[in-house]
Structure 1
Amino acid sequence: MPYQDLRAFLTALRNSGDLVDITRPIALKYDIAKALAKTSSIQGPALMFTNTGTAFPLVAGVYGNRRLALKAFEATEQTIHEKVLKGINNPIAPVDHKGAPPCQEVVLTGDAIDVTKLPVPTYSPKDGGPYITAGMVVSENPETGTPDIGNYRFQVHGPKELGVFSAPNHRFGKNIAHATAMGKQLHGAIVIGVDPLTMYSGQVQSSDSTNDWFVAGGLRGSPVELAKAVSNDMKVPAYAEIVIEFTVDTNSQKVEGPLGEYTGYYTAASPKPVAQITAITHRRGAIFQGLLTGKPITENHVLKQIPFETSLLHQLQAQFPTITDISVNSSGGVQVYLVIAMKPRYEGEARHAILAAMASNLHPKWVIAVDPDIDIRSSAEVEWAQSFRVKPSEDVFVVDRTATAPLDPYTDGAFSSSVGIDATKPFGVEFPDVAEVPGWRDFDLPEIDKR
Structure 2
Amino acid sequence: MKVVHQRRTRWLEGQRTMLYQDLRAFLTVLKESGELVDVTRHIALQYDIAKALAKTSAVQGPALMFKNTGTAFPLVAGLYGTRKRALIAFGATEQTIHDKVLQGINNQIAPVDFEGTPPCQEIVLTGDAIDVTKLPVPVYSPKDGGPYITAGIVVSENPETGIPDIGNYRFQIHGPKEMGLFSASNHRFGKNIAYATAVGKELHGAVVIGVDPMTMFSCQVQSSDTTNDWFVAGGLRGAPVELAEAVSNGLKVPARAEIIIEFTVDTKNQKMEGPLGEYTGYYTPASPKPVARITAITHRKDAIFQGLLTGKPITENHVLKQIPFETSILRQLQAQFPTISDISINSSGGVQVYVVIAMKPRYEGEPRQAILAAMASNLHPKWVIVVDPDIDIRNAAEVEWAQSFRVKPREDVFVVDRTAAGPLDPSTDGGFSSSVGIDATKPFGVEFPDVSEVPGWRDFDLPEINRG
TM score, norm. by length of structure 1: 0.99
Q: Is the 8 A contact 2:151 2:306 kept in 1?
A: yes
State how far apart, in whole Å, the 2-side matches of 1:379 and 1:344 are.
21
CA distance in 1, matches of 2:370, 2:60: 33
Counterpart residue number, 2:255? 238
Q: CA deviation at 1:125?
A: 0.3
Q: Of residues 134, 147, 156 in structure 1, which corresponds to 2:173?
A: 156
1:378 aligns with 2:395: yes
Total equivalences in the alignment: 451
1:26 aligns with 2:54: no
Between the aligned partners of 1:270 and 1:91, the Cα distance in structure 2 is 39
Q: Which residue of 2 aligns with 1:9?
A: 26
Please, which of 339, 345, 348 is the counterpart of residue 362 of structure 2? 345
Counterpart secondary structure, 1:210: coil
Whichever residue aligns with residue 214 of structure 1, its letter is: F
Deviations 1:346-393 (A, max 9, x none): 000000000000000000000000001111011111000000000000
Question: Normalising by the residue count of structure 2, what TM-score does the alignment of the two structures yield?
Answer: 0.96
Write out per-residue CA displacement over residues 143-184 of structure 1, whole angstroms, 9 at most, x where no aligned residue: 110000000000000000000100000000000001001101
Structure 2 counterpart SS, 1:123? coil
Amino acid at match of 2:274: G
Equivalent residue number for residue 119 of structure 2: 102
Amino acid at match of 2:226: S
Q: 2:381 & 2:201 partners in 1: Cα distance? A: 34
Residue in 2 that maps onto 1:209: 226
Tell me how far 1:332 sits from its aligned partner: 0.4
* Counterpart among 309, 315, 320 of residue 326 in structure 2: 309
Which residue in 1 is equivalent to 2:84? Answer: 67
Q: Which one of the candidate residues 365, 383, 391 is aligned to 2:382?
A: 365
Distance 1:281 1:267 in 2: 31
Q: CA RMSD, aligned part only?
A: 0.7
Equivalent residue, structure 2, for 1:318:
335
2:465 pairs with 1:448? yes
CA contact (8 A) 2:270 2:291 kept: yes
Residue 405 (str. 1) matches residue 396 (str. 2): no
Q: Secondary structure at the match of 1:303?
A: helix
Q: What SS does structure 2 have at the residue aligned with 1:350?
A: helix
- Separation of aligned partners in 2, 1:437 and 1:11: 44
Shift of 1:406: 2.1
Q: Give percent identity, aligned residues only.
A: 84
Instruction: Show the counterpart of 2:451.
Output: 434
Cα drift, residue 450 of structure 1:
6.3
Is contact 2:423–2:431 with CA below 8 Å preserved after alignment? no
| Distance (whole Å) between structure 2 residues aligned to residue 406 and residue 376 of structure 1 | 27
Q: Is the 8 A contact 2:442 2:448 kept in 1?
A: yes
Aligned ranges for residues 19-58 of structure 1 at < 5 Å? 19-58=36-75
- C-alpha distance in 2, partners of 1:38/1:196? 23
Instruction: Report the Cα distance in structure 2 between the residues aligned to 1:206 and 1:35, rounded to whole angstroms.
Output: 34
2:344 partner amino acid: S
Q: Displacement of 1:447 after TM fit?
A: 2.1
Gaps spanning 5+ residues in structure 2: where? 1-17
Residue 12 of structure 2 aligns with which residue? Answer: none
Among 312, 315, 321, the alignment partner of 1:298 is 315
CA separation in 1, counterparts of 2:264 and 2:386? 45
* Other-structure match for 2:264: 247
Report what 2:145 is aligned to.
128
Structure 1 residue 449, shift from structure 2 partner: 6.4
**Equivalent-residue separation in structure 2 for 1:140 and 1:439 (angstroms):** 55
1:204: how far off?
0.2
Counterpart-to-counterpart distance in 2, 1:225 and 1:448:
53
Question: Secondary structure in 1 aligned to 2:269?
Answer: strand
* Cα distance in 2 between the residues matched to 1:231 and 1:437: 66
User: Which residue of structure 2 lines up, in the alignment, with residue 219 of structure 1?
Assistant: 236
1:448 deviates by 2.8
Aligned-pair CA distance for 1:284: 1.0
Could you tell me which residue of structure 1 aligns to residue 190 of structure 2?
Answer: 173
Q: Which ranges of 4 or more aligned residues in structure 1 deviate by more than 6 Å?
A: none
1:211-232 CA distances to partner (integer Å, 9 max, x unpaired)? 0000000011110000000000
Name the aligned partner's letter for residue 121 of structure 1. Answer: P
Instruction: Find the counterpart in structure 2 of residue 387 from structure 1.
Output: 404
Specify the SS of the correspondent of 1:116. Answer: helix
Cα distance in structure 2, aligned partners of 1:55 and 1:412: 46
